[in-house]
Amino acid sequence: MKAAILTGKRQIAVKEIPKPQIGPGELLTKVEYAGICGSDVHAYQDLIFPVGTILGHEFAGTITDIGDGSSGLKVGQRIVARPAGMCGDCEWCHRGELGLCKNHWSNTLGLQIPGGFAEYVKMKSYMAIPLPDAISFQEAAQLEPVAVTYHAVDRIPTHVGEPAVVFGAGPIGLLVLQFLRAAGVRPTYVIEKSPMRRKKAEEFGAEFVWPPSPDLPDRIRQKEKGGINTVFDCVGFEETMQQGLDIVKAGGKILLIGISAQPISINQLRWVQKGVTVVATLGYFVDHFAGGIRALEKKMVRVDSLVSHVFSLHEIEKGMQLLENPDQALKVLIRP
């Protein structure tokens, strides 16, 4: 089979490798679509995973072979990968909080074990979630970020008629926006430097879509006399964290979803003086993945219009490079 293999910094080679052999409790899936995540781009740029890694943790496909002990699944079934691995023994696994398992990073598809940028993927049967007929393979290949976003929004309760600010209009930021609007949050402010992505935020209904600017906190305060209680940082830069603190009112909440590749500094005194709650979120729990499926099935969020490009496996480097420029691409899918 063909697979896109990480061979060095800014190097991915499509090679012919043996099709995986499955054992008990495992299955083989033919990949229909796989999404390129921001973490895949970081791995491509900076080699954050070992040489030889097959990236791709966002994918959906069709079961082609099943090992013993994989009850409830069958050959030919459409599935979406819930790629998070788990040890099965720790308190987090017992609670279904997969992203917090101590062995999460070493057991997750597309991180240190082969993922979806290949024609076939071997996976544990618990990672294969049956796909409702109402969800297409292209939509299902984006279910993992939908689950991540569902989890994030669930961490901070919002209320009908209450304003919120979202930094960043990449796929995660636009999904946050859609979940907030589905919950009746109004108005929504989206801060994004890319004109193309600002246009998308407008299409998804954000009332105010602005580029970053030093006077941003003052502009928002002029409109929201009662202040902003909730800020979603889907960027993770020092500048967005500092402006988020400037924007949020005393006693408000800031949710951190975006991750900066570089360490950042904060003025701890200002955070304490305002009494803000800062919540960091990672991945998703079992319930949130199921909630993401329901959200797609009921059309609470739209992911079809997030897709800007679909490439073959041989074009994967083109997709990685396009995503380095926010004005050139939004969500790139690979079809092996």
Residues 134 and 154 in one domain: no
State the pLDDT at residue 325. Answer: 93
Read off the pTM: 0.95
Per-10-residue mean pLDDT for the chain, 336 residues long? 96 96 96 96 90 96 94 94 89 86 86 95 96 97 96 91 96 98 96 97 98 93 91 94 93 91 82 92 90 95 96 98 95 97
Is omega for the bond preceding 187 within 30 degrees of 0, making it cis? yes
123 and 11 within one domain: yes
| Residue 170, C-beta contacts closer than 8 angstroms, at least 6 positions apart | 38, 197, 234, 326, 330
Considering the domain architecture, whether residues 152 and 134 belong to the same structural domain is answered as no
Q: What is the pLDDT of residue 96?
A: 85
Whether residue 285 is contained in a domain is answered as no
Q: Are residues 136 and 155 in the same domain?
A: no
CA 17/CA 14 separation, integer angstroms: 9
Q: Are strands 58-66 and 78-81 parallel, antiparallel or unpaired?
A: antiparallel
53 and 24 in a common domain: yes
Q: Classify residue 298: in a domain, yes or no.
A: no
pLDDT at site 322: 96
pLDDT, position 270: 87
Measured CA angle at 22 (ends 21, 23), to 5 deg: 130
Asked if 100 and 51 sit in the same domain, the reply is yes
186 and 136 in a single domain? The answer is no
Q: What CATH number has the domain bearing residue 52? A: 3.90.180.10
93, 201: one domain:
no
Say how far apart CA 179 and CA 323 lie, in whole Å. Answer: 24
- Helix (H, G, I), strand (E, B), or coil: what is residue 156? coil
Q: Domain for residue 80, yes or no? A: yes
Kindly state whether residues 237 and 168 are assigned to the same domain. Answer: yes
Distance of CA 157 to the CA centre of its chain: 20
* Among 234, 265, 280, residue at a domain's last position: 280
Residue 192 lies in a domain: yes
Contact predicate 232/167, CB 8 Å: yes
Query: Rounded to whole angstroms, how far apart are CA atoms 3 and 17?
Result: 7
Residue 167 lies in a domain: yes
What is the count of structural domains for the chain? 2
List the CATH number of the domain containing 251. Answer: 3.40.50.720
Please indicate, yes or no, if residue 243 is contained in any of the structural domains.
yes
Contact between 4 and 14 under an 8 Å Cβ cutoff? The reply is yes
**Residue 11 and residue 110 share a domain:** yes
Residues 190 and 65 in one domain: no
Give the domain extent around 164.
Answer: 147-280
- One domain, residues 137 and 104: yes
* Contacting residues for 288 by C-beta, under 8 A, at least 6 apart: 147, 148, 150, 151, 154
**In contact, 243 and 218? CB cutoff 8 Å:** no
Judge whether 233 lies within some domain. yes
Q: Is residue 291 part of a domain?
A: no
